[in-house]
Structure 1
Amino acid sequence: MASPLIDEPLSPTGRLFLRPEMNQVIHCVLGVEKPLDVDAVKPLIRDAFLLKHPRFRSLMVRDRRGLERWRRTSVDLDRHLIVVDRRLSSSSDEAAVNEYLADMSTGPGLSADKPLWEIHFLTAHRCIVFRIHHALGDGISLMSILLSDCRMASDPNAVPTVGSTARSDLSKKKRTMWGAVVWLVGVLWFSLVFVVEFLMRLCWVCDQNTVISGGIGVEHWPRKLATARFRLEDMKIVKRAVASATINDVLFGVISSGLSRYLEHRTPKALQEGLKITGLAMVNLRKQRGLQELSELMKGDSQSRWGNKFGIVLLPIQYHKSGADPLQPVKRAKTMLDRKKQSLEAHFSYNVLSYVIAYIGSKIAGFLNYRVICHTSFTISNIVGPQEDIAIGDNRVTYVRANSSSLPHALTMHMVSYAGRADMQILVAKDIIPDPEFLAKCFEDALSEMKEEASAIMKTF
C-alpha cells in the first residue's frame, strides 16, 4: 500500500499560506549557552528533531490542475543547514540576530525544490534559527517538533512540561439550568455580533489611519525587529489583582497600554480618547494540554490533527491617555476576550476560509484574508512554551523566541513564554515605525506600572 503522504493534498489553510500575498515563513529562534557544535546537533536533527514527521520529508508539488500536493522525497540534510560562522555585525548578539531575522522577513522565500524548512546556525552569536514554512503547520504543531528531542536542563532524562493556555472558567455559568440558558444566549448573541463585525471588516470597515498603520504593499517594506521582555511572575501579580483574569488578558492589556503610550509619544496632534485600533489574533482550535498532547501530533496516524488549525479573531483596543488607572486596560481586555471566547467567531473564520479555498479557490481566499489584514492595524500571537529550562543535547537553551515573515501590517508581535520569562518579538516596517526599541520599552513600562498598582492593591487585603 502506498504511503498516505505521497501526493497528499495540502490542507485548505496550507494552500492559503502559499499564496504570494500570504507567503508566510515562521522563524523560531533558540539561543544557547555554550558555543554551537553543528556536527553534534546534526544527529538530533536527522534522527528525531525535524525528520520524525513526514511533512518534513515531503516536497510541495503541483498536479496537472495546479493544485498543491505533498510528495515524499529523500532529504539531503546539508541542503537544509546554513552555517554562518562570522559575526553579523559589531553590535550586541541580540541586535545582530534581530537584524538578521528582520532581513529574512522580507527576503527570498524557501526554495520549492526541497522540503520547506531550513535551519540557520549563527555560531558567532550562539543562536539557532528554525525557518519553517507555515504551510507545514501552525505554532502548536511546530512547537511539538521543536520540543520532541529536547530535555530538561536539570535532568537529561526528563521531558519538558508545557503549560496549557488558561481560560476563564465559563463552565461555572452552566452549572444550573438557568445558567446554561443564559450562557447559550450569550454564545448566540456574541457570535452574531462578532460575525457581523468580521464581515463588515472584510467588506468596508477599516481602522482610522495612525502612525502604526500599514496597508497594501507594506509587506515588501524593509523591517526592523526588537524584543520586549517580561517576567511571567509580574504578569501573574497583575492577573491576581483582576478577578478571574488570565495571562492573555494581562498581555492584551499591556498591548493596549503600551500602544497608547507610543501613539501619545509619536502623535503631535492629540488622538481622540477611546479611538479603536484593531488587531488580529490566530486562535488555536485544538485543546493544548501540555507536551503529551503535542506528542500526539507526532504520530504517523495522527494526520488529522497535524497542520494548521486556527481561526482569526478581531481584537480591538482603545487608545487612552496616560494617567488613568493602570489596571483599566486589563479589565477592558478581560471583558472583551471573555466575550470572544464565548462566541464562535474563530470557528466561523476558520470554516469560512476553508470552504472558500476548497470550493472557490485559494486566490479568492487569499484576497479576502489580505483585505482583512489591510483593514486592521497589527497582529498578535502568544504561544506557551516550556516551563523549565531545556537543553539541546548538553547545551542549555537561554531563550526561545518566534516571529514570521512580513505582512501588510506595519506591526506584528509574537510572544513565547519560556522558563518563567516571556519574550515578545516586535517586527515593524521601519519606514512607518522607526523606533521599535522604544515601542518595546512602552510595553515593558506598561507592565511595570500595572505590577506596582496590583502590588499596592494586594497589600490592602
Structure 2
Amino acid sequence: MENLERDEPLTPAGRMFVSSEMNQIINCVIAGENPIDIEAVRAEISNSLMVKHPRFCSLLVKDSSGREHWRRTVVDVDRHLIVRHDTLSENPLVSDEVAVNEYLADLSVSSPLGTDKPLWEIHLLMAYNSAVFRVHHALGDGISLMSMFLSCCRRADDPAMRPTIGGVGASASAMLKRRWDFWTLLKVVWYTFVYILEFILRGLWLKDRSTPLSGGDGVELWPRKLATARFQLDDMKAVKRAVADATINDVLFGVVSSGLSRYLDIRSPKALQKGLRFTGVAMVNLRPQPGLQDISKLMSSDLGTQLGNKFGMLLLPVHYHKGGSNPLEFVKRAKAMIDKKKLSLEGPCSYKIGNFIMSFFGTKVASILNYRIVCNTTFTISNIVGPREEITIVGNPIKYIRVSSTSLPHAITLHMVSYAGKGRHANPCRQRHNPGPRSSGEVF
C-alpha cells in the first residue's frame, strides 16, 4: 500500500505507447567529432536534470488490476550505459555512417527496453565516436525529449550558453492568432468535421489502396533498412520563396510527395492511375510554447503537460502524379492541403478523442484503433527542429543528430531533424522480402 501511494499513473498517451500494439522507442544518434570520453559521459549523465526527473528515475510497474504506474527508484547510471568497443560491420569497406545506420535499423525491430530499470539507455559506439540515446515514447514526445537532451549541451561558439531552438510546427496557440470572421469560422467547422470523420473511419475500415509502398499488420516485425539524406535548410528556403506564403513544412512535404510519386513510377509505371491517393500520418505539437521547452518547467509536477506526450494526429493525403510533373507543383499541392489542415482543429480533436477512448474504453481498445489507423494508411512522417547553432556535449563537438523509432506497421517511416542550418532525413523502410534472417545495407 505504501508503494501504491507513491506510484504515479501513466497518462493516457503513455499507456498507449507501452501497449503491445504500439510499443514505441525513440532512437537518437549523436555523432561526435572526437573519441568519446566514457567517464565524462558518465559524470554528465549523473549530474544532469535527466536522472533527477521523475520519469527518468521511475520503473514501469503494474498493479493487481493490470494498470500501469511509475514507481520511483534509484538510478544506477552504469546499468543504462552500454559501451561497445567492437566494429559493427565485418566489411571494412562499409563507412561509419552506413554501419551506424545498420545498427539503428536492427535496434528498431529486435531490442526492447527492459522494465527492470527506467525506460532509457545510452549505447556508446566507441569505434564510431557515436552514441545512441534510446528512450521509451511513454516518457515523452520528440519536442520534450529534444529539450531534455539539449539541457546537457552547450553552444560550440560559446560554452557558457545553452543552445537555442526555433518553433516546431504548429501549436495550439497558432489558431488564436488568426483573424476570425464568419467565413473563417465556417471553414474551421467544416474542415474539422470532415477530417475528424475520416480520422474515425480510418480506425474502423477505410484503407488506402494497396501499392508497392503499403505496409499492414505484422510489417513492424519485418527487418528494416535505414537510409539518410542531408540538405541545407537555405536550399529549402529558396524553394519556399518560389511559392507564395509557403513554409518549410510545405516544401518538405512537397519533396516527400514528389519522391514517393517518382518511386511508384519506377515500381508500377502502368498499374497506377493519376490522382491515386495514399495517406501519411503526422504529429502536431499542441503545447502553447512550440519551441524549446523551459528546462526548469520540465521538473514541475505537471508532467503530462511539460514532459510527456502532448501532440495530435493529422492525416496527410498524397496524390500520385507522374514524375515528369513540375516539382513546384508538388509544393503548391502540399501547401494547399496543409493550409486546410492548419485551419482545422484536427490535431486537438484527435488528441481529445484518443484520451476519451482511453478513459472510457481502456488501453486495449484505444491501442487497437490507433494500430488500425496506422495499418490503414501508408507512411509516417515527423519533423523536429533541432538547435540553431553547432553544439557540444561534454566538450565534444557534435557532427549530426539523427532520429528514428521502432517499427510501425508502415513500410516507410520518415523522420527529419535539423541541426545548425542543416536537415537530416532518416528513412527506415521494410526490406522487400518475407521475414527471415535479418540482413543489412542502405537504401536510397
Fold match, TM over 0.5? yes
Letter in 1 for 2:146: M
Q: Is the 8 A contact 2:102 2:441 kept in 1?
A: no
Match of 1:458 in 2: none
Q: Shift of residue 296 of structure 1?
A: 4.6
Quote the residue 1:160 is aligned against: 163
Q: CA, structure 1 residues 289+192, in 2 after alignment: closer, same or farther (shift >3 Å)?
A: closer
Q: How does 1:105-124 map to 2 (within 5 A)?
A: 105-124=108-127
- 1:19 corresponds in structure 2 to 19
Q: State the one-letter code of the partner of 2:402.
A: R
Q: What corresponds to 2:146 in structure 1?
A: 143
Alignment identity in percent? 55
CA RMSD, 1 decimal = 2.1
Residue in 2 aligned with 1:380? 381
Distance in 1, Cα, partners of 2:117 & 2:294: 26
Residue 68 of structure 1 corresponds to which residue in structure 2?
Answer: 68
Secondary structure of 1:41's counterpart equals helix
Q: Distance in 2 between matches of 1:13 and 1:374?
A: 19
Aligned in 2, Cα 1:167/1:7: closer, same or farther, shift over 3 Å?
Answer: closer
Structure 2 matches for 1:307-326, cutoff 5 A? 307-326=308-327
Partner secondary structure for residue 298 of structure 2? coil
3-state SS in 1 of match to 2:274: coil
Residue 390 in structure 1 maps to residue 391 in structure 2: yes
Do 2:225 and 2:429's aligned partners in 1 also have CA atoms closer than 8 Å?
yes
Q: Which residue of 2 aligns with 1:130?
A: 133
Q: Does structure 2 retain, via aligned residues, the 8 Å contact 1:99–1:225?
A: yes
Residue 167 of structure 1, CA deviation? 5.8
Q: 1:18 and 1:171, CA in 2 relative to 1: closer, same or farther beyond 3 A?
A: closer
Q: 1:436 to 1:81 in 2, by over 3 A?
A: closer
Q: For the residues of structure 2 that align with 1:41 and 1:108, how far apart are their CA atoms?
A: 23
Deviations 1:345-364 (A, max 9, x none): 11121111111112211001
Alignment check: 8 A CA contact 2:250 2:331 kept = yes
Which residue does the alignment assign to 2:407?
406
The 1-side partners of 2:177 and 2:69 are apart by 45
2:35 matched residue in structure 1: 35
1:88-99 counterparts in 2 under 5 A? 88-89=88-89, 90=92, 91-99=94-102
Rate the CA distance shift 1:223–1:13 in 2: closer, same or farther, 3 A.
Answer: same
The SS at the match of 2:353 is helix
Alignment of 1:279-318 (within 5 A): 279-291=280-292, 293-305=293-305, 306-318=307-319
User: With structure 2 as the length reference, what TM-score do the two structures score?
Assistant: 0.93
Matches of 1:432 and 1:260, distance apart in 2: 22
Q: Within 5 Å, which residues of 2 pair with 1:341-356?
A: 341-356=342-357
Matches within 5 A, 1:62-461: 62-89=62-89, 90=92, 91-165=94-168, 174=179, 180-291=181-292, 293-305=293-305, 306-431=307-432, 439=444
| Secondary structure of residue in 2 paired with 1:317 | strand
**Unaligned 5+ runs, structure 1:** 440-461
Distance in 2 between residues matched to 1:272 and 1:152, nearest whole Å: 50
Query: Is the Cα contact below 8 Å between 1:166 and 1:247 reproduced in 2?
Result: no
Instruction: Kindly indicate whether the alpha-carbon contact (under 8 Å) linking 1:105 and 1:223 is maintained by their aligned counterparts in 2.
Output: yes
**What's the offset of the Cα at 1:289?**
4.5
CA deviation map 1:400-427 (0-9, x unaligned): 1100000100111110011011101100
**1:9/1:129 CA distance change after superposition, 3 Å:** same
- Secondary structure (helix, strand or coil) at the match of 1:20 reads coil
Call closer, same or farther: CA 1:243–1:296 in 2, change over 3 Å: farther
Q: How many residues align?
A: 433
Query: Which moved further from structure 2: 140-149 or 302-311?
Result: 302-311
The residue matched to 2:28 in structure 1 has which SS?
strand
Secondary structure of 2:206's counterpart equals coil
Name whichever of 117-126 and 191-200 sits farther off: 191-200
Shift of 1:312: 1.0
Check 1:129–1:172 CA distance in 2 against 1; reply closer, same or farther (3 A cut): closer
